[in-house]
Structure 1
Amino acid sequence: MPNRSSSAGLRASARPVRTRRGAAEVEQAISDAVVVELAEVGFGRLTFDSVAERAGTGKSPLYRRWSDTTALVIDTLEKLGMDPAGYVRTGVLRADLIGFTRYMTNTHQGVKGAAFRSLLGEAQRDPELLERFKAQILAPLFDSLTELLRDAAQRGEVSSKRLTPVVLEVLHALIVKRLILETRDLSTDDITEMVDQVLLPLVVSEH
């Protein structure tokens, strides 16, 4: 089974050799190290020492910027998020639901996916972490999906009356379960099945 960690731009095992780097490079190395530490040992066992070692830097840059590991992880959450603008819509609802979900899958796999699952478990015990996780990770994903559906309603593909809060909540819950909580990456067949059997029937009115 191929190791997908390289596709996420992160190396899960090797610690980089310390070399002279600029501030931006050090910051990127720290962020990458946090993601891998979350995936490998979890939020509860992540420390400044372990992040500094994996990033190939001293602890001073961490202590200067973050008061504790919670602050460090919260600041790193943005790098785990998906950029909705990266998906170019086709203007056809079914194609966009499949394409957008595939795009989300591609940006939430490998080490990032493991970091997501780790944070979801730990965030339940840390109110601040949970709120930032919902605001920076989940909300942009859900907002983009809702916008996609509302655009389809304006085109007449679905009825706007079908886009109730309960229906949207069901769609969001399914996305979280299948996209983030699954330990394997979704295939195109998985995504197509989810769209055809659940997402479309929920929002398309029967004639």
Structure 2
Amino acid sequence: MTSSATDHRRGPRRRGAELEEAILRAAREGLVERGYAALTMDWIAARARTSKAALYRRWNNRAELVVHAQGQLVRSLLSTPDTGAFASDMRALLRSLADLMDSEYGELLRAVLAEVTNSPELAAETRRQLFETGPGLVDEIYRRGIERGEVRPELRGTRAMTVAHDLLRNEFVTRGAPIADAVIEDILDTVYLPLVRAG
């Protein structure tokens, strides 16, 4: 990977999904190489070999683009576990999330979180987009748990439902990665499962 965006202007122009993926990849690369504060829409456009107008046709601003790039990566790498039981589904999901935090995504997430306090726009976009995927997967697991009579239905959609996900994210922010299996077991067995189990 070269450090100069100018070198990436060469080559055939891309359109549609191919162009969008190139833009999102450029945003992720720029976040790692330059940091959010120094990353510009001009730089991303040059790295993706497209025009700045092509970026603004899809995203309103830099924050929206950067956070969408992160969310797209997460959505491409995660799926909802279906083991047949709520506890093992949650265990599998938290392990997948922990592994993701120990990957390229973890570096990207840390870069965004480092800038959140300096950019209200980025903070708002991060809350709106970035933290939806994990809780969305939890909601699907929780819905199935309700159908099987394993969890308390009145907690669906509340903060209590996403406590395990939130604690895992806090572990990453405060202690970093990798996150050990023992941490996941502690989150589930000590805090989360006693809170949400039916009966």
Q: Residue 117 of structure 1 is aligned with which of 93, 97, 110?
A: 110
The residue matched to 2:131 in structure 1 has which SS? Answer: helix
Residues 141 and 12 (structure 1), Cα distance of their counterparts in 2 relative to 1, 3 Å cut? farther
Equivalent position of 1:20 in the other structure: 12
**30-39 or 105-114: bigger deviation:** 105-114
CA contact (8 A) 1:158 1:203 kept: yes
CA distance in 2, matches of 1:65, 1:163: 37
Q: Which has the higher contact order (CA 8 A, sep 6+)?
A: 1
> Does the alignment pair 1:80 with 2:73?
no
Per-residue deviation at 1:120?
2.5
CA contact (8 A) 2:67 2:130 kept: yes
Residues 107 and 89 (structure 1), Cα distance of their counterparts in 2 relative to 1, 3 Å cut? same
CA contact (8 A) 1:162 1:204 kept: no
The residue matched to 2:83 in structure 1 has which SS? Answer: coil
Structure 2 gaps of 5+ residues are none
The residue matched to 1:44 in structure 2 has which SS? Answer: coil
Q: How does 1:103-182 map to 2 (within 5 A)?
A: 103-161=96-154, 165-168=158-161, 170-179=163-172, 182=175
> Does the alignment pair 1:66 with 2:73?
no
Which amino acid in structure 1 is aligned with residue 29 of structure 2? V
CA distance in 2, matches of 1:147, 1:25: 30
The residue matched to 2:176 in structure 1 has which SS? Answer: coil
CA distance in 2, matches of 1:12, 1:196: 46
CA contact (8 A) 2:155 2:161 kept: no
Deviations 1:149-175 (A, max 9, x none): 243133122233566835236434313
**158-167 or 35-44: bigger deviation:** 158-167
CA distance in 2, matches of 1:200, 1:36: 38
CA distance in 2, matches of 1:65, 1:202: 44
Which amino acid in structure 2 is aligned with residue 155 of structure 1? R
Structure 1 gaps of 5+ residues are 1-10
Equivalent position of 1:96 in the other structure: 89
The residue matched to 2:52 in structure 1 has which SS? Answer: helix
Which amino acid in structure 2 is aligned with residue 151 of structure 1? R
Per-residue deviation at 1:74?
0.9
Deviations 1:118-165 (A, max 9, x none): 223323443443332222221232132134224313312223356683
> Does the alignment pair 1:191 with 2:179?
no
Per-residue deviation at 1:95?
0.8
Aligned identity (percent) is 23
Which amino acid in structure 1 is aligned with residue 11 of structure 2? T
Q: What root-mean-square deviation, in Å, do the aligned CA atoms of Structure 1 and Structure 2 show?
A: 3.5
CA contact (8 A) 1:42 1:115 kept: no
